[in-house]
Structure 1
């Protein structure tokens, strides 16, 4: 059975893009800091958890999330949840925070699992072309057996990136986003 080792998830999977002039990304102990002297500072932290399914005393399935830390072995079919926390540590709002998250190699995005808490105006878009373009609902063209070409929703296995756009992160506030992937 094929195994995938996940090492340093916070440093490997997080790519933060803050659309400010003069941005300075800093990596420190699994925490990224995107800052601009005029606009404020946002601390970013990426955590990962593995879905563990068990049965309760009545025989019902119970889904729990187990934090992943250090060097971890996952199996094909395992579902992981990535949680991204962005904390504006400044006294000013931060405008137009954009976070790009690649779908890790060997993983498939779980459709409709991405969400952003704490900011109702946030927008989630997806890329199926390695981050060159992002849309809300990716589509692909499929050639049918009769030769006709049809546009269909993109399958989960072609998603390459998730982009989270938060128009404003208020001063001294936190925005939280998460999404799920499944090990191939």
Structure 2
């Protein structure tokens, strides 16, 4: 299976859009994440720009947003779908300060912070009962990050890990 890099959807605050040319550059990368043992210690090895993914492989989807303007940007919203044929696992490393992360289970139509909840109907004692349950991360279909402030000339790197189905 040869996955394609996901389509990146980007939205900016009204102030950023009013500047004309895009004040933001985006860089998307994908790397295979492998556990390796070196001198008796288990560590991670990343193989960048990996495109020959096989079922079970864990990939890091990483997005770097850089403010190339002379002005600070506020409330920069970046959305990244979980690629088709893959399952969301977890964030890729700690979240940078000043970034809010939200998730979607409806293809990116709505977003909310984790843990997400959903209603399910189950049968108990012969009766249909509606319950609220926590959505598991492997059900996430997209991630949205909102960067509160991105000073001129700076950037933030964000990402998540997926597993190939």
| TM-score (norm. length: structure 1) | 0.77
What residue in structure 2 maps to residue 5 of structure 1? 2
- Separation of aligned partners in 1, 2:94 and 2:19: 26
- Separation of aligned partners in 2, 1:84 and 1:67: 13
State whether residues 115 and 179 of structure 1, in contact with CA within 8 Å, keep that contact through their aligned partners in structure 2: no
- Separation of aligned partners in 2, 1:56 and 1:175: 30
Gaps of 5+ in 1: 24-34
- Separation of aligned partners in 2, 1:98 and 1:92: 17
| 1:100 Cα deviation after fit | 0.7
Question: How do 1:164-175 residues align onto structure 2 when only pairs under 5 Å count?
Answer: 164-175=145-156
What residue in structure 2 maps to residue 154 of structure 1? 135
1:22 to 1:63, Cα distance in 2 relative to 1, 3 A: closer
Q: Alignment partner of 1:92: what SS?
A: coil
RMSD: 2.3
Gaps of 5+ in 2: none
What residue in structure 2 maps to residue 102 of structure 1? 81
Which of 38, 43, 46 is 2:25 aligned to?
A: 43
In the alignment, structure 1 residue 57 sits paired with structure 2 residue 39: yes
Q: Alignment partner of 1:101: what SS?
A: strand
| TM-score (norm. length: structure 2) | 0.85
What residue in structure 2 maps to residue 26 of structure 1? none
State whether residues 92 and 160 of structure 2, in contact with CA within 8 Å, keep that contact through their aligned partners in structure 1: yes
What residue in structure 1 maps to residue 120 of structure 2? 142
In the alignment, structure 1 residue 79 sits paired with structure 2 residue 58: yes
Aligned residue pairs, count = 161
State whether residues 28 and 61 of structure 2, in contact with CA within 8 Å, keep that contact through their aligned partners in structure 1: yes
- Separation of aligned partners in 2, 1:107 and 1:157: 9
Greater RCO, 1 or 2 (C-alpha within 8 Å, sep 6+): 2
| 1:46 Cα deviation after fit | 0.7
